Amino acid sequence: MTKYATRKKAFAEALTQFTASLRDYFNSWTEQDEERLFTLLSATPARFILSTCHHNDYRTNLTLEQYWSRFNIVTREHFHHTGGKLENRREVVEALVFNFEESMPSRTLRSSAKQEQYELYATHMAEES
């Protein structure tokens, strides 16, 4: 078995173990789930990328420091175009946690293009109302 196939199999096994007991990620994610995911991903020889919220205007993801700080973390800003009300559609900062070396910038800064994207979308949504 090649090194790649071994890593792929190890990751698939870790993912299977982890997801076997989950029924509803959004409403039932607990501290124990986060710790279990950390334990499984820490032990796998497979490469992984974990996408999670870093922060938004209302909260900060405290588990990043508690569990994931030993890995590489980069952040990316992006805009959520969904939500019950237009004013609730905001930028969030996503954290990408990974266990391999990569030469990507550790953070993306707000660009004028993102602001323009939001303004165009907001104008369009206002015209639709």
The domain ranges of the chain are: 1-42, 47-129
Give, to the nearest 10 degrees, the angle between helix 3-19 and helix 31-43.
Answer: 160
CA–CA separation, 56 vs 35, rounded Å? 22
* pLDDT tens-digit map of 31-54: 898 999 999 999 999 999 998 888
* pLDDT tens-digit map of 77-95: 877 666 667 776 777 888 9
| Lookup result for tokens 């707000």 | 110
Residue of 50, 99, 104 lying closest to 71 (CA atoms): 99
Exposure of 50 in the CB half-sphere (CA atoms within 13 A)? 23
Mean pLDDT of the chain: 75
pLDDT at 30: 85
- Residue 80's SS3 state is coil
